[in-house]
């Protein structure tokens, strides 16, 4: 892509530019270079996509599940064949390192693999003789048309938390990628097209808030999945639910890591540093607060400072780079302002990444890792999602105090503990109020066959992304009670 390409939508099996759309520039966050332009799809075109999906659904739901998964097997092969190009595209438009992009692609593919098990995962239940001559059974049927609304930070993985399951269960989908990272989705949907799903079963509409709202209001759409920030997740959840749709909305996070004095020094330091600064802190599972217990502060503070100050920041396509830019100049300003706010609130800066220029990439949105010590409870910096490479240090005296601190937070996406004590880890696992728990793990990302859990303000809904939860979300149960009395049948 050379900056002149106008990205198209994919509707009814064809690529088209939406009539009357405004266009936004898609920029490489490391260079500022324009990579392509993306349309802001107006409601009329959302309507065409929804009607195309609804029409295709009628036939697709009748296709037997073992046949429905055949294009997914083909898609898995295509994703492997295009693995390097897709990873590179993620780095170009998102900024993460090529290795991180490859890791993301692997996670996307794992979801395709798991969804190929739908014939088993969709099985129903049967109970014989619930009354004389009466049997009862439950079958799973697809829901209809699902809208999949995605954020910028995992442009390949997040659509695949949903799309393979929705399709395998017999639904039709409309994917709405982030307007900041739409090129990856464009390439992915080209492969989905090549995999051979019937026209209209998969649709792609580009855009931002108004396009999303048209999806939320469309009567032909029955299910909505969303991943993004908490305020928008709340909006999606309430508006789609008010329109009678089933919804799951994953929101933002503020993830604490607890470090006990008996944690392994080297492993813990590497893992904490990667959790806080990997992907430039733009992960919903990024460590935001490191809470040291007792003596751990004295031991871990110097090594965390060292790890933050030596992290190699630069263009994600260059070898040896460990951290790329943040997504936009506005995002960089917001992160700097939050660091400044933390300092106003009494924190002390141990490593300062605010003023960063990378030689040769002066047009990029770079920051270096920042470490703040003495972060106080209840302050803005201790409660607000930074979504940048900033780690706040807090100190408590006991594990109980640490758990209480974790549970006082508004978010519940992830909480981790670092220790060699099984008893402390066990207590933490049981009592911490978060949906994803790491024990000596800094980014507790569930594999595709587990739900991507999330609690409190990090999640609105009941069923989560991936695995069995996705199968339940994309199917509705039908219970049949059936009577066949002996006397009614002809004797043979
Ligand atoms: P975002 O909320 O700005 O945007 C997400 C999507 O919502 C985009 O497609 C965007 O076009 C759309 N959108 C934005 N504003 C809207 C509005 N007012 N009305 C309707 N639609 C709107 O999020 P982002 O900046 O792209 O992604 C980062 C956020 O996503 C972070 O908060 C991060 O924690 C969160 N996230 C959460 C998870 C999770 O599993 N909980 C995973 C990844 C990212």
**Residues 90-117: tens digit of each pLDDT:** 999 999 999 999 999 999 999 999 999 9
Cα–Cα dist 456/460, whole Å: 8
The phi, psi pair for 72, rounded to 5°, reads -70, -40
Task: Report the pLDDT value the prediction gives residue 2, as an integer from 0 to 100.
Answer: 66
Cα–Cα dist 54/220, whole Å: 6
Could you confirm whether 169 is annotated as catalytic? no
The pLDDT averaged over each successive group of 10 residues in the chain (492 residues) is 86 97 98 98 98 98 98 98 98 98 98 98 98 97 99 98 98 99 98 98 98 98 98 98 98 98 97 98 98 97 98 98 98 98 98 97 98 98 98 98 98 98 98 98 98 98 98 98 90 80
CA–CA distances in Å: residue 178 to residues 36, 212, 240: 14, 10, 19
CA–CA distances in Å: residue 83 to residues 69, 314, 315, 486: 21, 23, 20, 59
Task: Report the pLDDT value the prediction gives residue 70, as an integer from 0 to 100.
Answer: 98
Which H or E run contains 406?
Answer: helix 399-407
Q: And the tokens for 177?
A: 């990628």
Number of other residues whose CB lies within 10 A of the CB of residue 468: 15
Task: Report the pLDDT value the prediction gives residue 470, as an integer from 0 to 100.
Answer: 98
Cα–Cα dist 251/173, whole Å: 21
DSSP state of 215: H
Q: What is the pLDDT of residues 367-421, one digit of tens each?
A: 999 999 999 999 999 999 999 999 999 999 999 999 999 999 999 999 999 999 9
CB of 165 closer than 8 Å to CB of 172: no
Task: Report the pLDDT value the prediction gives residue 303, as an integer from 0 to 100.
Answer: 97
Nearest-CA residue for ligand 1 atom 35 is 228
Nearest-CA residue for ligand 1 atom 24 is 151
Cα–Cα dist 224/215, whole Å: 9
The half-sphere exposure of 152 on its side-chain side, counting CA atoms within 13 A, is: 23
CA–CA distances in Å: residue 393 to residues 293, 347, 399: 11, 9, 16
Say how many Å lie between the CA of residue 464 and the centre of ligand 1.
Answer: 16
Predicted TM-score (pTM) above 0.85: yes
Pocket of ligand 1 (CB under 6 A): 149-154, 176, 178-179, 208-209, 212-213, 227-229, 232, 235, 250-253, 284, 385, 387, 413, 452, 454, 458
Phi-psi category of residue 90: left, alpha or beta, with phi > 0 → left and psi -120 to 50 → alpha: alpha
Q: Which residue has the tokens 């994703």?
A: 79
Which atom of ligand 1 lies nearest, measured to the CA of 231?
A: 2
CB of 154 closer than 8 Å to CB of 104: yes
Task: Report the pLDDT value the prediction gives residue 489, as an integer from 0 to 100.
Answer: 82
């Amino acid at each position: 892509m050379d900056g002149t390409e106008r990205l198209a939508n994919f509707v009814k099996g064809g690529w088209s530019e939406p009539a009357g759309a405004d266009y936004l520039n898609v920029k490489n966050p490391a260079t500022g270079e324009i990579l392509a332009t993306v349309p802001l799809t107006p409601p009329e075109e959302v309507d065409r996509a929804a009607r195309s999906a609804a029409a295709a659904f009628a036939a697709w739901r009748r296709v037997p599940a073992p046949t429905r998964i055949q294009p997914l097997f083909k898609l898995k092969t295509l994703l492997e064949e295009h693995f390097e190009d897709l990873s590179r595209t993620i780095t170009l438009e998102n900024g993460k390192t090529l290795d991180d992009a490859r890791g993301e692609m692997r996670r996307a593919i794992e979801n395709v693999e798991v969804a190929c098990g739908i014939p088993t995962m969709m099985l129903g239940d049967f109970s014989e003789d619930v009354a004389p001559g009466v049997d009862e059974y439950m079958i799973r049927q697809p829901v209809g048309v699902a809208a999949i609304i995605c954020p910028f930070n995992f442009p390949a993985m997040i659509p695949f938390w949903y799309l393979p399951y929705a399709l395998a269960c017999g639904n039709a989908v409309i994917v709405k990628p982030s307007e900041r990272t739409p090129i990856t989705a464009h390439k992915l949907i080209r492969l989905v097209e090549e995999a051979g799903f019937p026209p209209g079963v998969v649709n792609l509409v580009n855009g931002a808030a108004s396009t999303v709202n048209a999806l939320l209001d469309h009567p032909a759409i029955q299910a909505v999945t969303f991943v993004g920030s908490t305020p928008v997740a709340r909006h999606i959840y309430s508006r789609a639910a008010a329109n009678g749709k089933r919804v799951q909305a994953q929101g933002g996070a503020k993830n604490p890591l607890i470090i006990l004095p008996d944690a392994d020094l080297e492993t813990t330091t590497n893992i904490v540093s990667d959790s806080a600064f990997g992907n430039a802190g733009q992960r919903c599972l990024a460590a935001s607060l490191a809470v040291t217990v007792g003596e751990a502060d004295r031991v871990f503070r110097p090594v965390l400072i060292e790890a933050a100050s030596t992290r190699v920041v630069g263009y994600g396509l260059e070898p040896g780079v460990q951290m790329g830019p943040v997504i936009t100049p506005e995002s960089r300003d917001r992160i700097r302002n939050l660091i400044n706010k933390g300092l106003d609130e009494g924190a002390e800066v141990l490593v300062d990444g605010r003023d960063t220029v990378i030689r040769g990439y002066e047009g990029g949105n770079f920051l270096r890792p920042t470490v703040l010590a003495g972060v106080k409870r209840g302050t803005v910096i201790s409660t607000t999602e930074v979504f940048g490479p900033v780690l706040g240090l807090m100190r408590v005296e006991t594990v109980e105090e640490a758990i209480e601190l974790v549970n006082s937070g508004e978010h519940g996406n992830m909480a981790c503990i670092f220790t060699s004590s099984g008893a402390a880890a066990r207590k933490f696992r049981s009592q911490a109020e978060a949906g994803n728990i790491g024990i000596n793990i800094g980014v507790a990302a569930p594999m595709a066959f587990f739900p991507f859990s999330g609690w409190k303000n990090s999640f609105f809904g009941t069923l989560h992304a991936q695995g069995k939860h996705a199968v339940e979300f994309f199917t509705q149960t039908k219970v049949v009670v059936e009577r066949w009395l002996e006397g009614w049948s002809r004797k043979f």
